[in-house]
Structure formats: C-alpha cells, structure tokens
C-alpha cells in the first residue's frame, strides 16, 4: 500500500469513530455485552468447583476431592527393635556324684573323725535287678566311718553272745561314731532282727549299739561280691550284694 492509501484509510477510520461519540456507540455496547457474557460463564464454572477447605485462594490444591486415584503415603521404615540384654542364667551347683565303690568281695574300710555320734535312724532293704540292697540312713550331714567285710562269726557287743542268722555266710557292716537310739535310750531302728524273702540276703540282725559302735550282720547265700555307695539328701550308706 502507498503512503497516500494509508493516510486515506486512517482518515476514514477516524470519521467512523467520531460518528459513535464518546461512549463508543454500538461498538462499545457490543464489547461490554461480550465481556459480561464471558464473565458470567467463568463465574458459573468456578462456583461448581469451589475452593478446597484450608487452601489459599489462587493456589493449586494438593489433590482434588473427586480424584479417584488414591493418595499414596510413603510407608514408614520398619522399626528396628534393639534386642534386650540377655538375662544371665544363675549358676547352679551340681550335686556331687555318688561315691560308689567297685564290686568286691574284700574288706572295705573308711576311717572318719566325727564331732559326735551320728544317729542311725532307718534301715531298709529291697530287691533290684541284679542285686539285693540294704540302705542305712543317718540323721546328719555326713556318712560316718564304716567297715564292710565277710566274717566267719559275730558276737553281740556287751553280752558276747554269738550271732546266728540264716544263710551260708555273714556280711558284717560296722559303723563307727554312731548310735541307733535317741537321748532317752529309745531305739531309732526297728525291728532289730528280721527274716527276709530275698534272693541273696536271708536275714539281718543288729548285733551292736554300744559306746558309739553300731553293727548290722547280714546272712547271705555265699560270698557274693558287694559294692558300697554313699549318698546325700538324706545321708545314706548303701550296700548292694550282687546276685
């Protein structure tokens, strides 16, 4: 377009605008109407969404209420338990093993010094697999001195009378520093003589309970081997005669 044409076009536009007046005429009204319609449409759309409570106006919310996508919350790291300090197990004192001798037919002699006479409070017998057993129980913490041996004869202490028991041989158990009676003189072991229906031990008799010496004579069939065992809780001396 030439310079003359551009001048002519500008003059014609100015004439048209001046015909509309200061208010803009129809063009101004049309412009105002279009703006009003646009504003109404925007207002209607905003009213449907509404702000999310707690959100500042004009800011994008953290998530939309109608969003069907679940909010993924990062899982907290698993807590690591600190193992508790181990409680120390109290030390236990093992019960000492029984003092048990080997099977023998020879003499067994244990010499011990006691502070006073130990009371023999029970005498029991029993049959076990492979041996007959005699149990001597004491009212004290320690087994007194003793001697176990096969003898050809035995006498009642005090009177000197010969001891006669059933069986072929006599196995004598002599206890030193002991008594089989209480302070009033009452016997703590009864009966003091007893016939038995056992494979080897046929009878026992208490031949002595005098001046700190107690003796029990076993009538047995043959010179079978025997063994001696000492036990605690209660205090016991055990003599097993092998079958």
pLDDT at position 171 is 98
Q: Supply the pLDDT for residue 94.
A: 40
Domain spanning 99-242: CATH 2.60.40.3500: yes
CA distance 18 to 25: 10
Q: Between the CA of residue 209 and those of 38, 68, 218, what are the distances in Å?
A: 132, 103, 16
Reduced to 3 states, what is the DSSP secondary structure of residue 162? strand
Q: Provide the token pair at 226.
A: 């025997």
Neighbours of 221 (CB within 10 A): 17
pLDDT of residue 58: 42
Q: Is the pLDDT of residue 90 over 70?
A: no
Average pLDDT, the chain: 76
Q: In this predicted structure, what is the pLDDT of residue 35? A: 62
Examine the pLDDT at 95 and tell me if it is beyond 50: no
Give the residue-averaged pLDDT of 33-49. 50
The DSSP secondary structure of 165-231, one letter per residue, reads: -SSSEEEEEEEESEESB-TTS-BSS--SEEE---SSEEEEEEEEEETTEEEEEEEESS---EEEEEE
* Most confidently predicted of 8-22, 53-67, 107-121: 107-121
Quickly count helices (H) and strands (E) in the chain: 2, 12
Query: Quick one: average pLDDT of 161-189?
Result: 96
- pTM of the full structure: 0.61
What would the mean pLDDT of 31-40 be, rounded to a whole number?
Answer: 57
Residue 38: the pLDDT is 52
What are the boundaries of each domain within the chain?
3-44, 99-242
Please provide residue 143's backbone torsions phi and psi, each rounded to the nearest 5 degrees: -75, 130
The model's pLDDT over 141-168, given as tens digits with 9 standing for 90+, comes to: 999 999 999 999 999 998 899 999 999 9
pLDDT surpasses 50 at 227: yes
pLDDT at 99: 77
Task: Please tell me the predicted confidence (pLDDT) of residue 116.
Answer: 85
CA dist list (Å): 99 to 22, 141, 150, 235: 134, 15, 21, 12
Q: How far apart are CA 12 and CA 5, in angstroms?
A: 11
Q: How far apart are CA 110 and CA 99, in angstroms?
A: 12
Lowest mean pLDDT among 82-91, 149-158, 174-183: 82-91
Residue with tokens 């006073």, as numbered in its chain: 116
| For helices 3-20 and 25-49, angle between their N-to-C axes, nearest 10 degrees | 80
């Amino acid at each position: 377009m030439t310079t003359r044409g551009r001048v002519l076009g500008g003059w014609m536009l100015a004439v048209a605008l001046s015909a509309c007046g200061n208010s803009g005429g129809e063009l101004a009204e049309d412009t105002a109407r279009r703006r009003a319609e646009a504003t109404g449409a925007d207002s209607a759309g905003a009213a449907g969404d509404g702000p999310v409570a707690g959100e500042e106006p004009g800011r994008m919310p953290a998530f939309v209420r109608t969003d069907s996508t679940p909010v993924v919350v990062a899982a907290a790291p698993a807590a690591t338990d600190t193992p508790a300090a181990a409680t120390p197990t109290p030390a236990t004192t093992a019960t000492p093993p029984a003092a048990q001798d080997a099977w023998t037919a020879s003499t067994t002699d244990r010499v011990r010094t006691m502070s006073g006479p130990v009371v023999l409070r029970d005498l029991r017998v029993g049959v076990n697999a492979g041996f007959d057993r005699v149990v001597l129980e004491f009212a004290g913490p320690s087994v007194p001195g003793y001697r176990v041996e096969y003898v050809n004869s035995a006498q009642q202490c005090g009177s000197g009378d010969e001891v006669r028991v059933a069986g072929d041989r006599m196995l004598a158990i002599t206890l030193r520093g002991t008594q089989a009676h209480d302070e009033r003189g009452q016997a703590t072991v009864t009966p003091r003589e007893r016939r038995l229906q056992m494979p080897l031990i046929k009878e026992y008799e208490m031949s002595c309970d005098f001046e700190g010496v107690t003796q029990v004579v076993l009538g047995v069939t043959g010179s079978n081997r025997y063994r001696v065992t000492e036990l605690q809780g209660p205090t016991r001396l055990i003599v097993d005669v092998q079958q």
